[in-house]
């Protein structure tokens, strides 16, 4: 049995019939074809699948696609506008906040909600807000710097 779902992803409406047990992360990657959202652990531990759903950072491996029916979703592909990187993406570039890049989409999406809540976060707030996202390469030092860079540029309207 398949169920109808409709959701808006990065400003575009998508309607599909899905198996009730299809995880949202697999729907986004396989059905919709947006592969920037990564599948890491399937247990909600790593945060590689973090997206924004109705403005909240959520781990897409913890939700079924049917639970997102009617939702507004933003994935990493929806962050850049008119060919310009979002300040958070630019911060990761400027401050070398990535190495292998596997965790980067989830980190950026978590940072997007964080900066909405805390436009000028302290280092402690950044580290606390990233606790649900794992990086095996950088040790978080440059990720924190990247988010601080983004916060400064977003506050300045750049």
Q: How far apart are CA 121 and CA 147, in angstroms?
A: 9
Say which residue the tokens 């990187």 belong to. Answer: 85
Low-confidence ranges of the chain (pLDDT < 70): 158
Of 22, 51, 78, the residue at which a domain comes to its end is 78
CA angle 95, 143, 76 (to 5 degrees): 95
Q: How far apart are CA 70 and CA 54, in angstroms?
A: 10
pLDDT of residue 157: 79
**Are 44 and 98 in a shared domain?**
no
Looking up residue 127, the CATH number of its domain turns out to be: 1.10.150.120
Looking up residue 21, the CATH number of its domain turns out to be: 3.10.20.30
Token pair recorded at residue 80 = 């850049």
pLDDT of residue 24: 98
Q: Which domain holds residue 96?
A: 87-155
**Are 67 and 130 in a shared domain?**
no
Q: Measured between alpha carbons, how far is residue 41 from residues 45, 46, 64, 111 in Å? A: 7, 6, 16, 20
Instruction: Please give the tally of structural domains in the chain.
Output: 2
3-state secondary structure of 74: strand
**Are 43 and 99 in a shared domain?**
no
């Amino acid at each position: 049995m398949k169920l109808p779902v409709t959701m808006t992803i990065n400003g575009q409406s998508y309607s599909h019939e899905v198996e009730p047990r299809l995880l949202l992360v697999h729907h986004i990657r396989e059905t919709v074809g947006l592969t920037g959202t990564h599948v890491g652990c399937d247990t909600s531990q790593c945060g590689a699948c973090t997206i924004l759903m109705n403005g909240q950072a959520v781990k897409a491996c913890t939700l079924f696609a049917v639970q997102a029916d009617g939702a507004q979703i933003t994935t990493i592909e929806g962050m850049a506008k008119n060919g310009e990187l979002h300040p958070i993406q630019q911060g990761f570039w400027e401050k070398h906040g990535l190495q292998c890049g596997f965790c980067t989409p989830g980190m950026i999406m978590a940072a997007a909600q964080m900066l909405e809540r805390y436009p000028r976060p302290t280092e402690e707030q950044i580290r606390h807000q990233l606790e649900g996202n794992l990086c095996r390469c950088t040790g978080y030092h440059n990720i924190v710097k990247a988010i601080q860079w983004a916060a400064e540029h977003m506050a300045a309207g750049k």
